[in-house]
Amino acid sequence: MKTTFMLIFAFTVFFSASCKRESSDSVDQTKIYTEYHLVYDANTDITYARAVFKFSNITGTQLELVAPAEVKFNNDLMAFNQTLAFYEKQYSGFVSGGTFVYKDLDNNTFTNTITGVKTIGFPVGLDSIHKNASYEMTWIGDSVVTGEGVTVSIDGLYENDVQIFYTNLVNSKSITMPLNKLQLIATGNATIYMQRDITKTIQQAPSAGGYIKGVYKPQNKTIIMAD
């Protein structure tokens, strides 16, 4: 089983440790693209508030803010992660919402609030999945609403047998795993991961735009993939 899989699965994979970065004073402040993420991970029982700044668009060069530019979450100054080029503030326990405030070098302030990050959990008693038929997993938690999605991934014993299942169907409360994908997962112990995310329209941003996203990840489970 691949111990690095969580790095692939987690919403946090939108960052690259090898990415290029620049200082924010080297670009037009109106062309700074802003991303805000509020992520709770039950495996650590920590909520991660993160902010990413990029030049021009979502694929642009990541930026490090130059003082007096700054970003805060719930009035707490966020620190820059030099390795992954994002800003972060960590909180113990589940934080379901809050407010990001970004001030640029032109003294413009952009305020964005995210609310309604919802919990989700695996069904009680889930300890195995049979590979000889499709499987519908009904989760514990609210049905999907507009802008939300639920991802379930199963990481089997062998390399390259990770299978990912996704739904964003409004009002759905379950996710269906097709037979042909289940059969690609090795028989035996496997780890199952899940996350619920909601992406919302950014409220205030430079003209380059951006987005704001909330994520809830329940504790991973070890299950048996049975024939």
What would the pLDDT profile of 57-95 be if each residue is shown by its tens digit? Answer: 999 999 999 999 999 999 999 999 999 999 999 999 999
DSSP-assigned beta bridge partners for residue 201: 211
Same fold for the pair 5-117+201-215 and 128-199+220-226 = yes
Instruction: Tell me the pLDDT band of 2, cut-offs 50, 70 and 90.
Output: low
Q: Name the residue ranges covered by the structural domains of the chain.
A: 5-117+201-215, 128-199+220-226
**For the residues 115-131, what does the mean pLDDT come to?**
96
* Rounded Cα distance, 11 and 197, in Å: 9
What are the CA-CA distances from residue 40 to residues 46, 50, 61, 105, 202 (Å)?
6, 11, 26, 31, 20
Whether this prediction's pTM lies above 0.75 is answered by yes
What is the C-alpha separation between 190 and 5, in angstroms, rounded?
12
Average pLDDT over residues 183-209: 96
What average pLDDT does the segment 22-40 reach? 96
Whole-number pLDDT of residue 12: 43
Task: Give whole-number Cα distances, 223 to 52, 126, 132, 190, 226, in Å.
Answer: 35, 7, 16, 5, 9
Q: What pLDDT sits at residue 159?
A: 83
Cα–Cα distance for residue pair 198/50, rounded to 1 Å: 15
Distance CA 68, CA 66 (A): 6
Q: Is the pLDDT of residue 13 over 60?
A: no
Assess whether pLDDT exceeds 80 at residue 53: yes
Residues 138-153: tens digit of each pLDDT: 999 999 999 999 999 9
Fold of the domain spanning 128-199+220-226? Immunoglobulin-like (2.60.40)
- Cα torsion through 160, 161, 167, 172, rounded to 10: -160
Mean pLDDT across the chain: 92
Q: Which fold has domain 5-117+201-215?
A: Immunoglobulin-like (2.60.40)
Question: pLDDT confidence of 137, banded at 50, 70, 90?
Answer: very high
